[in-house]
Structure 1
C-alpha cells in the first residue's frame, strides 16, 4: 500500500526510532499487564509460576524494551535478551510476552542484516529454545516443538523476504537512474553530433558562396568603368548567389530553432554537380565535368558528402589556384564504389603546401565526411603543378583495403582525359 507524503504513516517511516519505541512500549505494557493480571501457568509450563514481584517485572521488561533499538543493533540485542529470558525460566517466573521481543528482534536481524548474520540469529534463537527444553525449565510436547520451530522460521523468512524486496526495489531505482543518465548522455552526444554536422554544412555553404561572391565582386569592380554590362551581370550573379546562400543557411540553422520543427528543403546531391560547375564557370574558374559509368541512386549521406567534397575542392581551386587556372571533376560510378577526382593546374608547389597545411576547416571537414562513410581520401599536389583531391566511397561489401587508392602514390602523373566521356557541359574558355 502506498503512503501519501505528509501522512502519519509516512512520517513514522521517516522516523523509525519513534515507531520502534512505540512498539517497544506497547509490547512491554502488554507483557507486564499479562504478568500482573493473568497469573496462569503459561503456554509451555506444566507447573504454576512463582508470584510476580519487582524482579519478574524488570526481567520481563528487559526482554521487550530493546525492541526500540531493533534497527541499530538487532543481533546484539537478540543475544542480550537471551540472558533475562533464561533467568525468567530458571527462576520459574511468568515470562508474559517476553518471547515476542525475541521474535521481533529475530525478524529485524533477517530484515536489516546480511545472510550470514541473520542465519546466526536464527541459530541463536534455536539454541535458546533448545537450552530451555533440555534443562527442563519448559516441558513442551512434540506439537509445541513443531509450532515453535515453525514460528521462528516464519519470522526469519518474512524478514529475509522484506530485505530481498527492498534490495530489488533499490536495484530498480539505481537502474532507472543509470538509464536516465545514459539517456542524457546519448542526448548530449546527439546534440554534439548535430552541432558538428551543422558546423560542417555552414562552413561548406559559406565558404563556397562567399568565395564566388568575392571573385564576382572583384571582377565587377575592375569592369565597372570599361564594361558596365559585364559588371552589371557580375552584380546580378552576386545577388543571386547571396540569396542562394541565405536560403541554404536558413534551412541549416533552422534545426536549432526551439519553437517547432524546421521546414528543411532537400539537401544537394550529385545530381546538382552540373549547376555547381556552371557556378564555378560564371565565377571565372574554367571547369570541366566528366561522369563515367551508369548513374544510380546513392545513399543520402554519401550523396551529400560527395557533393560537399566537390564543392569544397572547387572552392579551394577558385580561391587559391589563380586567375588562369583550369579545373577538372571526374566522377566514376562503379558497381561497388563511387570515385571522385577533382584537379586543377593552378600555382606551384609553395602555394600547394600552403593549401595543404593551412589552418582552415575545409580539408578537415572533407576528411570527416569521407571517413564517416568508410571512404578513402587523398589530398595533395599534382605532378607538374596544381592540386588534387581524390576520394573513394565504398558502396558494396568490398573491404576498404582493396581500394585502388591504397595502392597508388599521392603524387601521380596528370590524368589522361582522352578516354573520358565528356558531359554536355563544355569549357567556355
Structure 2
C-alpha cells in the first residue's frame, strides 16, 4: 500500500465528511458549554478554554479522511492543554475516538503510533494534573492505567472492526471471483454446446445432401444412357430422382424445424427420423449395383442408435457411389445380434477421384456418430483384393460407456 493510501485511506465519502463534522462540532460544544454555564473565571479564560478545547475536538472532522493527520493535530492540542491548564478538560473525550479511528482506518504498523502517543500522554497528563493533590505512587498508577485503558480499549475495538471489515471484503472479492468464473464456465459450456450443435447439423446436412445428390446423379446418368434403348428404365430413374429429392427435402425441413424451434418449444418434425426398417428401401433406391445382406432380425433399439446405423450405412453407400467407379459393385451387410449391430460395406472399385468430394467429411462424420454411441469404425482399402471396406460395430446396450473410436481407416 502506498504512503498516500496510509495518510489518506481510500473509500471516504461526502457522507463521512458530514457525519464527522457533526461529531466534531457536537464534542466541541459539549466540552465548552459547561465553562460558559458555570463560569469560574473571566472572559479571557473562557476564550482560552474554547480555543484549546476546539484544538482537541475539531480535528475529528478528519477522522475518516486522514486519521494520522487527526492524530497529529490532537496530539499538539493535548500538549498545549497539559502546559496551559492545571486540570483536565472535557475535550479529552476525543482521545478514545481518536484511538478507535486510527486503529479502524489506518492499515499496517502505522496504526500503532496512537498507542505510543497515548502511552506518553497517559503518563504526562496525570503527572501534571494530579501531582499537587496526592503524591502516593499507587494513585498515579491508577490514573495512568485508566488513561492508558482509554487508549488501548478503543484501539482493540477498532482493530477488530477493521479485521472484520477486511474479512468481509475478502469474502466479497472471493464471491465476485467465483461469479466471474461461473460466468466464464457457462460461456465456455455455451460455446461447446454451440460447437457440438454445429457439428451435428453439419453432419446431418452432409449425410442427407451428399447421399441424395449422389443417388440423383447416378440415376440421372443411368437414365440418360438408357433413354434411347429402354425408355421405361429412364422413367424409373426419373421416379427415383423425384422420390430421392422429396425425401431430402423432408429431411432438410426437419433439421430447419429443429433449428427454428425456441428453447421452450417442442421440436418441430416434418418427418420421422429414419429407422432400421427403412434401410433396405434406402439401399434399393441408391443403386442396382448394391446388394444388401441382412443377418439376424432387427431388435427394438433407441431412436439415436437406429438413426446412427441408418446414417452410417447411407454414408458408406455414398462413399461407394462417389469413389468406386461406374462399373464397381458393392455388398452391404447388416448383422443384428443381441449385443451389437454390425454394418459392413465392401466394394470392388478401383477408386476414382470425385470433384465433389468433401475432403473426408463423410468419414469424419461417421467417426463422430459412432464415437457418440460407443462403437468402433474401421475404413480402408481391402487386403484381399481391389476395393474399399467400411465396417462399423455399434453396441446395443444403452449403458455402454462412450469410448474413443479406433481410427483404423484412411481417407478415401
Which has the larger displacement, 123-132 or 231-240? 123-132
SS at match of 1:325: coil
Residue 256 of structure 1 and its aligned partner are, at CA, apart by: 1.8
Residue 98 of structure 1 and its aligned partner are, at CA, apart by: 2.6
Is 1:272–2:278 an aligned residue pair?
yes
| Cross-structure match for 1:158 | 161
1:151–1:15: structure 2 CA closer, same or farther, 3 Å change rule?
closer
Which has the larger displacement, 180-189 or 204-213? 180-189
The partner residue of 2:184 within 181, 185, 204 is 181
1:85–1:358: structure 2 CA closer, same or farther, 3 Å change rule?
same
Q: Is the 8 A contact 2:52 2:81 kept in 1?
A: no
Give the unaligned 5+ runs of structure 1: 1-13, 41-49, 412-429
Residue 205 of structure 1 and its aligned partner are, at CA, apart by: 0.5
| Cross-structure match for 2:89 | 94
- Equivalent positions of 1:217-228 (< 5 A) are 217-228=220-231
SS at match of 1:69: coil
Is 1:239–2:245 an aligned residue pair?
no
**For 1:96-143, what per-residue CA distance to the aligned partner results, in whole angstroms no more than 9, with x for missing partners?**
253265145236427xx4xxx2x763x444444433333453864978
| Cross-structure match for 2:379 | 379
Q: Is the 8 A contact 1:284 1:323 kept in 2?
A: no
Q: Count matched residues.
A: 367
SS at match of 2:343: strand
Is 1:325–2:317 an aligned residue pair?
no
The partner residue of 2:105 within 105, 109, 118 is 109
CA distance in 2, matches of 1:22, 1:358: 75
| Cross-structure match for 1:422 | none
1:34–1:157: structure 2 CA closer, same or farther, 3 Å change rule?
same
| Cross-structure match for 1:18 | 14
CA distance in 2, matches of 1:284, 1:335: 31
**For 1:298-318, what per-residue CA distance to the aligned partner results, in whole angstroms no more than 9, with x for missing partners?**
454443223211111111212
CA distance in 2, matches of 1:142, 1:15: 35
SS at match of 1:262: coil
CA distance in 1, matches of 2:358, 2:195: 25
1:100–1:38: structure 2 CA closer, same or farther, 3 Å change rule?
farther
**For 1:196-237, what per-residue CA distance to the aligned partner results, in whole angstroms no more than 9, with x for missing partners?**
101100100011111111122222323334433222222222
| Cross-structure match for 1:288 | 292
**For 1:40-73, what per-residue CA distance to the aligned partner results, in whole angstroms no more than 9, with x for missing partners?**
9xxxxxxxxx865276156325642322514xxx
Q: Is the 8 A contact 2:122 2:144 kept in 1?
A: no
Residue 381 of structure 1 and its aligned partner are, at CA, apart by: 1.6
Which has the larger displacement, 183-192 or 154-163? 154-163
1:103–1:255: structure 2 CA closer, same or farther, 3 Å change rule?
farther
1:369–1:128: structure 2 CA closer, same or farther, 3 Å change rule?
same
| Cross-structure match for 2:389 | 388
- Return the TM-score normalized by structure 1: 0.72
Q: Is the 8 A contact 1:331 1:339 kept in 2?
A: yes
CA RMSD of aligned residues (A): 3.8
CA distance in 2, matches of 1:17, 1:368: 60
1:221–1:410: structure 2 CA closer, same or farther, 3 Å change rule?
closer
Residue 190 of structure 1 and its aligned partner are, at CA, apart by: 0.8
